[in-house]
Structure 1
Amino acid sequence: MSAKIQAPRGTYDVLPPGAAERAQLESTAAKILGRAGYGRIETPTFEATPLFSRTVGEATDVVQKEMYTFPDSSGDSLTLRPEGTAPVVRAYLEHGMHKEPQPVKLWYLSSFFRYERPQAGRFRQFWQIGAEAIGSADPAVDAELIVLLGELLEALGARDTKLVLATLGQSEARAAYREELKAYLRAHEDRLSPEVRDRIDLNPLRAFDAKHESTQRVMVDAPRLIDRLPQEDLDHFEEVKALLDAADLPYEVDTTLVRGLDYYTRTLFEFQSGALEAAQNTLGGGGRYDHLAEQIGGPPTPGMGWAAGVERMLMASTQPPPVAPPVELYIAYEPSQKANAFRLAADARRAGHSARLELAGRSVKGQLKQASRSGARYVAVFGDEGVQLRDREGGEDKVVAPETVMHHIRGDL
């Protein structure tokens, strides 16, 4: 016997009950985002590798360790998408969406791929809902997107959620701060983790995200970016906060908040859940990315967006699982009546009814047991003398002609 083949490590199968939960989540997201004018977009599963290496950041874990990259037959380097924002901005530029009224509002529900250590809420193939608003630098764009993710999490019944807010400012101010932070880290280099030491020059801000205890103690007294930002950036952040206050959405400002992608500018945020383990408690988040379009060869184009993990949202949700629709008609039959039974099933479904047909070769007695398990309102049993129609909610059982079955049940369903 051949060895059993199983799903690759870090992936999983979505079975029918889970698919129903996801469909319910997708429907909720479509309603909430659609009301705000966001249209659905889907981008290819793989993209040209430079789309991510240029924008996500050469020094990030995503680019250095986690991307699934491969050459195709023509020698081009392709990458399974590790995140959704860069592909959406690429599509915005490629399809001339800058000619449309701005901002262009888009949302997606897609699968993404990162080579990570599999654990609860973190997989190598994972699903995210994301939303992007491209073409406007107005702080109201930031606030609207944050409120929409909050509304989605509330609709899902996500437990113990908290909005954490920060600002990174524009890249010019951040460049000067990076040099100051690098000098601080070098002065305390002996107390830093090897990983933080290795990327002082490449990505010093990631030191704030370190789980290493000694590094965390060093970072308590590290200079804060928000204290080095120009007034223009601070004014933008203040307006975002004022708009969130107007929408009655509470938040905490965390001056140490960082995320794993390099393209962010100004507003940065996360929704966290106390119902999940601390290491995996981020349900979703994002920020502004005003220079990303330029990084992939487009004109200066401001943008703002977020992504939220489907798996984590479902883990944190208190929304009851969807109830399967009731079976309205179960069709059993003697072997000689198979074609007639099949025709009735097709007719019932075309008429919009839920109908199940025996497909496993059971005896009529076995079929009736299946009908009982299904909870069907009506059971039609095809025999040589006609169709016995049974009403399982206390109605009259009767024998009817095959062509009249739908006539007898249509008024009750």
Structure 2
Amino acid sequence: MFKKVAGCRDMLPEQVALWQRLEQISREVFALYNYKEIRTPLLEESSLFNRSLGEAAEIVQKQMFIFKNETDSYALRPEGTASVVRAYIENNLDKTSALAKLYYIGPMFRRERPQKGRLRQFHHVGCEVLGSGAPGLDIEVISLMDTLLKSLAIANYHIKINSLGCADDKKNFAIFLRTNIGHNLNKLCPECNTRYNLNVMRILDCKNAGCQEIIRNLNIHDACLCRECADHFLEVKQGLDLLGIKYEVSPYLVRGLDYYTRTVFEITHDSLESQQNAIGAGGRYDNLIKEVGGPDLGAIGFAFGIERLFLVMQESPAPESKPLIYAIGLGDQARKQCLLIVDELRKNGITSDTDYENKSIKGAMRKANDLSAQYVLILGDDEIKKNTITLKQMSSGKQEEIKREELVGKIKCYTHIHAVN
């Protein structure tokens, strides 16, 4: 027997219903903020991620699924931003609009050790705003995240923000870290010893207890920010205050991707383990578009892990599905008539199904019950002669014989279904 690949999940119908609800709510929120959907390929040139994420990034070093032939190297996308930026440049979106506000919903892939909240195939819902470095967009994107969480009835989350500053500020911050951590190298975990040389800022992400103690003693503040970046961050904070959005400034927040500049943010949730409690994150990446071959324009974005969102969504009933009408034909002629009946019902926006397996009346009724049908239609030779049909309510057992031409109207009346336009 074949089994699914470790780190991947089957999504069964009841889970799909919740998933579709999340997608629908997300699309409605993005539309409120005037974002348009973009869909990019799952497969990209691996060099796109090498360039955008940085050769030293853990994703590039350890986590990408790579496919090579004699001349080319491709990767399943490990995140969405680089693909959106590539599409923005390749399709000249900077020339068709001064500002591109885009969102996406789809699968990502990383070769990680599967655990709760971490999968090899996972899904992101996120957005990117490309074409401007205005701090007002930082405010809007964080506001959008907050609105989306509230629309999903998610509570007990915390918004953490920080500013990494510009490229020069990041260099100065790296010098500060190396200067203040260097004498404690023997106390760092092996991975952070590697990070010290490759990307010292990533040490701040480490969850190792010894590394955390060193980090807490660093007395990090915003002294490394230039005046322009400090003013930018101040305007972001003032805008969030104006909108009444609660946040916490976390000087230790750096995020794991090298392309971030200036504002970065993370959403954590109380119900998740402290080491894996982020449900979404993002930030500004003002150099990335130019870095991968486009114009020198600012950009900002975020992504939520959909599987992470499901872990923290409050227990709520599954979205109510439309009532199911199940048609049972007793005999060959009646079964043919049932095909016409369910076709008519479907054309009128009524969810319907029929017995294709020629079951006995008892077996067909059992099938209707298994499908949670609200009403059953029973058609036999007598009903065909009289041009009627028997309509039975499953919950009460009550049934009535009605004229065929009255069927659609009766069902709409009983189930409060409106006609499809």
TM range (shorter): over 0.9
C-alpha separation in 1, matches of 2:218 and 2:374? 68
SS at match of 1:226: coil
In the TM superposition, residue 201 of structure 1 has moved relative to its aligned partner by 1.6
Q: How does 1:2-401 map to 2 (within 5 A)?
A: 4-72=1-69, 75-222=71-218, 224=220, 226-318=222-314, 320-336=316-332, 337-372=334-369, 374-386=371-383, 387-392=388-393, 397-398=400-401, 400=403
In the TM superposition, residue 96 of structure 1 has moved relative to its aligned partner by 1.1
Change (3 A) 1:408 1:320: closer
* Cα shift readout 1:282-323 (whole Å, capped 9, x = no counterpart): 110100000001111111110000000001111111162433
RMSD: 1.9
AA partner of residue 132 (structure 1)? E
Change (3 A) 1:275 1:411: closer
Percent sequence identity is: 34
Deviates more, 1:91-100 or 1:31-40: 91-100
C-alpha separation in 1, matches of 2:399 and 2:10? 44
In the TM superposition, residue 363 of structure 1 has moved relative to its aligned partner by 0.7
C-alpha separation in 2, matches of 1:362 and 1:306? 53
* Contact preservation (8 Å) 1:69, 1:80: yes
* Contact preservation (8 Å) 2:377, 2:392: no
C-alpha separation in 1, matches of 2:328 and 2:201? 67
In the TM superposition, residue 119 of structure 1 has moved relative to its aligned partner by 0.9
AA partner of residue 46 (structure 1)? L
In the TM superposition, residue 185 of structure 1 has moved relative to its aligned partner by 2.5
Deviates more, 1:134-143 or 1:329-338: 329-338
For this pair of structures, how many residues does the alignment match? 408
Change (3 A) 1:274 1:408: closer
Normalising by structure 2, we get a TM-score of: 0.92
* Cα shift readout 1:375-396 (whole Å, capped 9, x = no counterpart): 5444221212225412426876
AA partner of residue 9 (structure 2)? Y
C-alpha separation in 1, matches of 2:403 and 2:35? 52
C-alpha separation in 2, matches of 1:268 and 1:380? 58
C-alpha separation in 1, matches of 2:175 and 2:409? 80
AA partner of residue 201 (structure 2)? L
C-alpha separation in 2, matches of 1:13 and 1:22? 12
* Contact preservation (8 Å) 1:177, 1:225: no
Change (3 A) 1:99 1:411: same
C-alpha separation in 2, matches of 1:406 and 1:143? 51
Normalising by structure 1, we get a TM-score of: 0.94
* Cα shift readout 1:33-56 (whole Å, capped 9, x = no counterpart): 111110000110011111101111
* Contact preservation (8 Å) 1:159, 1:274: no
In the TM superposition, residue 399 of structure 1 has moved relative to its aligned partner by 5.9
* Contact preservation (8 Å) 1:327, 1:356: no
* Contact preservation (8 Å) 1:181, 1:223: no
SS at match of 1:164: strand
In the TM superposition, residue 224 of structure 1 has moved relative to its aligned partner by 2.8
AA partner of residue 382 (structure 2)? E
Change (3 A) 1:380 1:289: same
Deviates more, 1:170-179 or 1:294-303: 170-179
C-alpha separation in 1, matches of 2:32 and 2:260? 26
Runs of 5+ unmatched residues, structure 1: none
* Contact preservation (8 Å) 1:41, 1:108: yes
Change (3 A) 1:227 1:346: same
SS at match of 1:261: coil
AA partner of residue 362 (structure 2)? K
In the TM superposition, residue 210 of structure 1 has moved relative to its aligned partner by 1.3
C-alpha separation in 2, matches of 1:14 and 1:377? 25
AA partner of residue 391 (structure 2)? R
C-alpha separation in 1, matches of 2:240 and 2:120? 34
* Cα shift readout 1:341-400 (whole Å, capped 9, x = no counterpart): 112111110111111211343211222233345454442212122254124268761264
C-alpha separation in 2, matches of 1:46 and 1:313? 25
* Contact preservation (8 Å) 1:327, 1:374: no
Runs of 5+ unmatched residues, structure 2: 416-421
In the TM superposition, residue 409 of structure 1 has moved relative to its aligned partner by 4.2
SS at match of 2:196: coil
